[in-house]
Amino acid sequence: MVILAADLGGTQSRLLLARRQSDGWQALRQSTLRSQDFSSFAELLAAFLRPGEQPDSACIAAAGPLSNGRLQLTNLPWLLDAAAISRQYAIPRVRLLNDFAAQAHALRQLQPQQRCALQAGTPQADGVCALLGAGTGLGMALLAGNPAQPLALPSQGGHADFAPQDQQQIDLLRYLLPTHGRVSLELLLSGQGLSRLYAFLDERPVTAADLPDAQAISLAAAAGDSVAEQTLQLFARLLGGAAGNLALTSLAFGGVYLSGGIAPKMLPYLQQAEVREAFCNRPPMRALLERIPLYVVLDEYLGLQGAAQVAAGLDRDSQP
């Protein structure tokens, strides 16, 4: 049985063709294509599939709202329809997934070299896993159930309210409220969030046109710029605090995982004791939070791996 997996992003789309095996799947071919080079998913898939390649099942993951087998991508003008894809490509089983739900499906299969532990904790094999991903936006998802029957739950928790933990963060909230009216986690914990934090620490208007972007801030910090370094330190503490709140909300004894494009690039800042303190400092729940593992995901193909697992499961479920 041949499976197709796809993880569609606004910049890049990753696709995988694999053969299902009794213990999972084995990759046959994998490609990364520029999303903007294609006007539709159909055009993208036509460029990937070779003559004679016929998947038996497919799982397609993308950022966007999913309803009744249809998904409108957030960062691309593409509308995915599972039934239409199944008909057009004669794929018997097609499933669409939110991109963070797809990532969640892969969490329990991560190997030690694919993650970095910020807090070892005491992981429970069957415990809930929580995912928090900072990139263009801030995504969240949960993984419950067991390996035989996993249950991935997408979330819009990135749009929850920001809760300051100290005087500096109270000042940050007051700094942003006049401009934004409401301060969400995503407003701070995303690529553009880094620019807002830099403006706050540099005592500049948050609307200034010449604020550095995330990449420029990272490069400046590496060169020893004090404000850029403070920006990454504050971002890391805020991310640790958001992860602690998610851990409490979900009782994620399987671990809290930080994914996305930002976390692996600022690993030294996330490994500081202040980040673990931001994660655990919630009296009277400190002892509970110290038991919950906290990881940074190092594998950039997490969403594709999760989509492949789901596609393989569709094939397995169809067997008599």
Q: Report domain extents, the chain.
A: 2-110+299-317, 157-297
Phi, psi of 296 (to 5 degrees): -105, 125
**Residue 100 to residue 155: CA distance in whole angstroms:** 8
Tokens representing residue 37 in the block: 């080079």
**Residue 81 to residue 37: CA distance in whole angstroms:** 20
Each of the 320 residues of the chain gets a pLDDT tens digit; together they read: 899 999 998 888 999 999 988 777 889 999 999 999 999 999 999 999 998 889 999 999 998 888 899 999 888 899 999 999 999 999 999 999 999 999 999 998 899 999 999 999 999 988 999 999 998 889 999 999 887 788 999 888 999 999 999 999 999 999 999 999 999 999 999 879 999 999 999 999 999 999 999 999 999 999 999 999 999 999 999 999 999 999 999 999 999 999 988 999 999 999 999 999 999 999 999 999 999 999 999 998 999 999 999 998 886 655 44
Tokens representing residue 15 in the block: 């696709």
**Residue 304 to residue 282: CA distance in whole angstroms:** 35
pLDDT at 320: 41
CATH code, 157-297: 3.40.367.20
| pTM, full prediction | 0.90
| Strands of the chain, DSSP E | 2-8, 12-21, 24-34, 57-62, 66-67, 70-72, 79-81, 93-98, 115-119, 129-134, 138-146, 149-155, 255-259, 294-297
Closest C-alpha among 132, 124, 126 to residue 156: 132
**Crossing angle for the helix pair 214-222 and 226-250, nearest 10 degrees?**
120
Residue found under tokens 């997490």: 302
**Residue 105 to residue 100: CA distance in whole angstroms:** 9
Please tell us whether the domain made up of 2-110+299-317 is placed in CATH 3.30.420.40.
yes
Q: Do domains 2-110+299-317 and 157-297 have the same CATH topology?
A: no
Closest C-alpha among 176, 271, 170, 189 to residue 238: 189
